[in-house]
Amino acid sequence: MSDSFAAGGGLLSRRRLLGGGLAAGAVAAAGSLGLVEAVRAEAALPAWQTEPGLEVRPYGVPDSHEADVRRAIIQVYKELAPAYSFSGTPLHRLRGTITPSGLHYEVHHGGRPELDPARHRLRIHGLVERPLAFDLEALERYPMISRVHFLECAGNSFMNAHAEQAPQMGCDMLHGLVSNSEWTGVPLRLLLEEAGVRPEGRWLVAIGDDAPGLARSIPMEKAMRDGMLALYQNGERIRPEQGYPMRVLLPGYEGNMNVKWVTALQVVERPAHTKDESGEYTDLLADGKVIALSFTMGVKSVITHPSGGMSMSGPGLYEISGLAWSGTGPVTKVEVSADAGASWAEALLHPPVLDRALVRFSIPWKWSGAPALLQSRAHDGSGAVQPTRSEWKKRYSPANVNHNNSIQAWRVTQDGAVQNVYT
Amino acid sequence: MSDSFAAGGGLLSRRRLLGGGLAAGAVAAAGSLGLVEAVRAEAALPAWQTEPGLEVRPYGVPDSHEADVRRAIIQVYKELAPAYSFSGTPLHRLRGTITPSGLHYEVHHGGRPELDPARHRLRIHGLVERPLAFDLEALERYPMISRVHFLECAGNSFMNAHAEQAPQMGCDMLHGLVSNSEWTGVPLRLLLEEAGVRPEGRWLVAIGDDAPGLARSIPMEKAMRDGMLALYQNGERIRPEQGYPMRVLLPGYEGNMNVKWVTALQVVERPAHTKDESGEYTDLLADGKVIALSFTMGVKSVITHPSGGMSMSGPGLYEISGLAWSGTGPVTKVEVSADAGASWAEALLHPPVLDRALVRFSIPWKWSGAPALLQSRAHDGSGAVQPTRSEWKKRYSPANVNHNNSIQAWRVTQDGAVQNVYT
């Protein structure tokens, strides 16, 4: 039985293994996984089969054997400013689309504040009819909505943006500043309407209650359309790292605008050009100009299995799997190439494909054992397509690191090592 | 401005607060929440605004102020068998639909085993062409799927089934043996097809690797249709309490059939009538007969906000919110009554409404301050409707506690206490 390939380099139809109509023996026909062993006689019974198990605990944690599944912590100014740090989600150790809250990425300008939730208030003031302050108890009575959304740091994938040689790192260090949660909270619209926004109040300044007082200007139209005051993350109260007890959530917008530990929404006429938005979070263009307010995260994808630092266990059948997302709307298509971009095949998007949420894609791949170059390219409903790294670099100043949504290429060497390469 | 009511007892249209077209001031018109305070001068700055925050940690946990959000542990034979226990998810403290993995419900017959994942194997044997054994590393190469599904213990809500007087407890103790996760793993079909099931192999016996060796018979047709060997839960490896490193997942089937720590799938001709299925998990009927193999969980819902043990903070506008699910397919409708069942109004189902997953419903409610009786009633696509408690009781022997999907009624007293009542 011959294989029917969807593109070069061994890519099979995306429905080959998962779709309907897989006949018994198809796995063997496409190349036996060769990973099975015959059933053998039981050895002496282990302790866990002969003794009662452990007592229950009120709040569970991962198994002790999974202790190395952890955030990758990057402190770029470790001596000067230890409280300034990035913590990347280990995307290559996870499956599915929800990020466990304990592994959600973090970016801190001044560490994680330890707030007293009973004292915390969200104030809405400025160009409003009725300045208001809300405590946690009051907010519990408001109608709530839930949405699964990704958050991504504007600086995600900065290593690939600025390093001259492709850095040899894993998905956690290279692309881990993106995570996906079910967020629940009160629509900002309800709170703003209760305060009564004056016609000239076209912007909001959201201010966090941490020591750096991170502040960002938010278009009123965005806040009214789909902004949320998020109180819950994956079912429970937002974790301290993600803004306990409350944060702004602006679906599709760069991470820092989703202000954590938010304590004030000041309604103003025009952008405030705070230190955070005029300094750190601007995009430097090739022509010397600057995008002062760049909000929406671009369409992007990354192959997580296999990815940098992993090693293949010999030729044969694999499932290439990864994550895709776009700040504009749902991902419409992800293509995968296994032959350095000479041909592309459409990957399977695993349902449900949600708006501005991570989506899992996959495609079976028969690795011949020869060197290969794996890439994924995402499309969204606006027609945007993920650029190659060199296309992306052309647009920006060499110093720019923000909004790098370029294609990640992984080289698979003959001995099965998976390496980061620039294309 | 007068309110337009959707049903008796103060229920407003389900789209009143969340749907489109809410004009500014509508909240005030429907009854001001009365929970706001004027902005006041800042007191002395707290420490978290003046000092750098805490250092990052590789794996996060909830804020220390949330320590009372925990599983409710019930050990019915605490002295005799401490390793036999139920742990209920605190549904009334959660929002959204995903259950944080640390709060997923547990039922243990012999405690939580501490397996060595490197030694763990899943064996497929019996009526197959090729007996196979899979280790974790081998399974990582197979195609994986992700599905959001609820799991519910057959005995969930057993307190309401057998206690003569309605027990005064919260949602965690009464209904907490249901949880909802994104599960990721390998379709059982792929593994069974690789082993080559013989035509007479119409059942599977799944056996857990814990000391009690929990074993259940599973129809081959179900395993082939949508059964999963689940390896990941909410993105990361399955938690120890939920079957680390692998469990069976049978969408819509009672919890114990989703065998945890699964180590063997024995292909057989007919049900094995194991100790677990002939003893603990049968349904005793009113006519003296027994349903020996009752798999699918019925259509069900519960109002979580407000719910037993909570207290209302005075008359005015509230959002009634709860969870609904069915083992048959997607929930199609949830109705809510605030006047002891005299009238019902349709609640809003929050998207995405997924197949055999928890769905959040809500409806605004203007509480007059008079005593009220709140109930929710779920429907599914098969036409099934949640029965009242007395209707449900009629079908079963008084001793039966399993598969109690009857309507939960909460009484709100004049002083705002929320109590469990039988109807």
pLDDT in tens, A128-150: 999 999 999 999 999 999 999 99
Is there a contact between B412 and B371 (Cβ–Cβ < 8 Å)?
Answer: yes
Q: Which residues of A touch B317 (CB under 8 A)?
A: 141
From A396's Cα to the closest Cα of chain B, the distance in A is 32
Q: Which residues of B touch A231 (CB under 8 A)?
A: 95
pLDDT reported for residue A3: 55
Q: Which residues of B touch A83 (CB under 8 A)?
A: 52-53, 55
The residues, ordered by sequence, that sit 6+ positions from B103 with a Cβ below 8 Å of its Cβ are A59, A60, A235, A236, B69, B70, B71, B89, B90, B94, B179
Question: In this structure, what are the phi and psi dihedrals at residue A297, rounded to the nearest 5 degrees?
Answer: -80, 140
pLDDT reported for residue A21: 39
* CA-wise closest residue to A401 among A74, A91, A104, A69: A74
Record: contact A319-B93, CB cut-off 8 A: no
Record: contact A36-B103, CB cut-off 8 A: no
Higher pLDDT, A33 or B108: B108
CB atoms within 10 A of CB A280: 14
Q: How many whole angstroms separate alpha carbon B222 and alpha carbon B189?
A: 10
Q: Which residues of B touch A114 (CB under 8 A)?
A: 48, 53-54
Residue A245: pLDDT band with limits 50, 70, 90: very high
* CA-wise closest residue to A345 among A1, A2, A93, A3: A3
Picking from A28, A95, A196, the nearest residue to B232 by CB comes out as A95
CB atoms within 10 A of CB B137: 11
From B401's Cα to the closest Cα of chain A, the distance in A is 23
CB atoms within 10 A of CB A244: 25
Q: Which residues of A touch B123 (CB under 8 A)?
A: 39
Q: How many whole angstroms separate alpha carbon B242 and alpha carbon B226?
A: 19
- Domain positions in chain A are 108-285, 300-421
From A76's Cα to the closest Cα of chain B, the distance in A is 13
Output the CA angle B158-B160-B166, nearest 5 degrees: 150
A68, burial (CB in 10 Å: exposed 0-12, middle 13-18, buried 19+) = exposed
Structure tokens at B91: 């549904």
* CA-wise closest residue to B42 among A263, A66, A205: A263
Q: Which of B18, B22, B32, B39 to mutate to test the interface with A (most CBs of A within 10 A)?
A: B39
Record: contact B144-A95, CB cut-off 8 A: yes
- Nearest chain A residue to B28, by CA: A194
Q: Specify the pairing of strand A331-337 against strand A372-380.
A: antiparallel
Record: contact A211-B62, CB cut-off 8 A: no
Q: Which residues of A touch B130 (CB under 8 A)?
A: 36
Mean pLDDT over all residues of chain B?
91
pLDDT reported for residue A336: 98
Structure pTM? 0.92
Is there a contact between B377 and B344 (Cβ–Cβ < 8 Å)?
Answer: yes
CB atoms within 10 A of CB B61: 16
Q: How many whole angstroms separate alpha carbon A181 and alpha carbon A46?
A: 38
Q: Which of A59, A97, A226, A239 to mutate to test the interface with B (most CBs of B within 10 A)?
A: A59
Residues in chain A, how many? 423
From A50's Cα to the closest Cα of chain B, the distance in A is 5
Mean pLDDT for A196-222 is 96
Picking from B48, B115, B352, the nearest residue to A114 by CB comes out as B48
pLDDT reported for residue A40: 36
Q: Which residues of A touch B320 (CB under 8 A)?
A: none
Helix, strand, coil percentages, rounded to 5, for chain B: 15, 35, 50
Q: Which of A114, A123, A124, A312 to mutate to test the interface with B (most CBs of B within 10 A)?
A: A114
Is there a contact between A89 and A103 (Cβ–Cβ < 8 Å)?
Answer: yes
Q: Which residues of B touch A33 (CB under 8 A)?
A: 138, 141-142, 194
* CA-wise closest residue to B154 among B271, B249, B253, B279: B253
Please name the residue that has the structure tokens 């403290």. Answer: B93
pLDDT in tens, A5-60: 888 888 887 766 654 433 333 343 333 443 444 333 345 688 888 888 888 999 99
CB atoms within 10 A of CB A137: 11
One-letter amino acid identity for A22? Answer: L
Record: contact A111-B87, CB cut-off 8 A: no
Q: How many whole angstroms separate alpha carbon B151 and alpha carbon B106?
A: 10
pLDDT reported for residue A293: 87
**CATH architecture entry for A108-285:** Alpha-Beta Complex (3.90)
DSSP letter (8 states) at residue B168: -
Q: Which residues of A touch B59 (CB under 8 A)?
A: 61-62, 70-71, 102-103
Q: Which of A51, A63, A193 to mutate to test the interface with B (most CBs of B within 10 A)?
A: A63
pLDDT in tens, B402-420: 999 999 999 999 999 999 9
Is residue A4 predicted with pLDDT exceeding 70?
A: no
- Nearest chain A residue to B317, by CA: A141
Give the CA distances from residue A96 to residues A33, A352, B181, B313, B374, in Å, rounded to whole numbers and listed in that order.
Answer: 22, 11, 11, 40, 37
CB atoms within 10 A of CB A178: 25
pLDDT in tens, A273-293: 998 888 788 888 999 898 888
Is residue A238 predicted with pLDDT exceeding 80?
A: yes
Give the CA distances from residue A401 to residues A273, A339, B204, in Å, rounded to whole numbers and listed in that order.
Answer: 20, 28, 54
pLDDT in tens, A350-402: 999 999 999 999 999 999 999 999 999 999 999 999 999 999 999 999 989 99
Picking from A133, A138, A241, the nearest residue to B39 by CB comes out as A133
Record: contact B38-A187, CB cut-off 8 A: no
| CATH superfamily assigned to domain B108-168+180-283 | Oxidoreductase, molybdopterin-binding domain (3.90.420.10)
- Nearest chain A residue to B319, by CA: A143
CA dihedral A241, A242, A244, A247 (to 10 degrees): 150
- Three-state SS at B102: helix
Is there a contact between B297 and B252 (Cβ–Cβ < 8 Å)?
Answer: yes
pLDDT in tens, B213-270: 999 999 999 999 999 999 999 999 999 999 999 999 999 999 999 999 999 999 999 9
Picking from A54, A62, A236, the nearest residue to B112 by CB comes out as A54
DSSP letter (8 states) at residue B327: S
Residue B149: pLDDT band with limits 50, 70, 90: very high
Is residue A199 predicted with pLDDT exceeding 60?
A: yes
CATH of domain A300-421: 2.60.40.650
User: Chains A and B: how many Cβ contacts under 8 Å?
Assistant: 349
Q: How many whole angstroms separate alpha carbon A357 and alpha carbon B126?
A: 43
Is residue A110 predicted with pLDDT exceeding 50?
A: yes
pLDDT reported for residue B36: 41
ipTM of the complex: 0.91
Give the CA distances from residue B266 to residues A107, A161, B119, B192, B202, in Å, rounded to whole numbers and listed in that order.
Answer: 49, 52, 19, 10, 11
CA atoms within 13 A on the CB side of A342: 11
From B256's Cα to the closest Cα of chain A, the distance in A is 17
Mean pLDDT for B43-69 is 89
Record: contact B95-A231, CB cut-off 8 A: yes
The residues, ordered by sequence, that sit 6+ positions from A191 with a Cβ below 8 Å of its Cβ are A122, A124, A132, A134, A142, A229, A265
Mean pLDDT over all residues of chain A?
91
pLDDT reported for residue B152: 98
pLDDT reported for residue B359: 98
pLDDT reported for residue A155: 95
- Three-state SS at A220: helix
Q: Which residues of B touch A60 (CB under 8 A)?
A: 101-104, 239-241
Mean pLDDT for A150-172 is 95
Q: What is the 3-state secondary structure (H, E, C) of B233-294?
A: ECCEECCHHHCCCCEEECCCECHHHCCCCEEEEEEECCCCCCHHHHHHCCEEECCCCEECCC
Q: Which residues of A touch B96 (CB under 8 A)?
A: 146, 182-184, 232, 234-235
Is there a contact between B75 and B176 (Cβ–Cβ < 8 Å)?
Answer: no
- Nearest chain A residue to B213, by CA: A49
User: Among A185-199, B168-182, B281-295, whose mean pLDDT is lowest?
Assistant: B281-295
The DSSP result for A77-129, as a single string, is TTTT-TT-EEEE--GGG--SSPPPGGG--EEESS-B----TTT--EEEEESBS
pLDDT reported for residue B77: 85
Is residue B11 predicted with pLDDT exceeding 90?
A: no
Is residue A161 predicted with pLDDT exceeding 50?
A: yes
Picking from B61, B237, B319, the nearest residue to A66 by CB comes out as B237
CA atoms within 13 A on the CB side of A95: 28
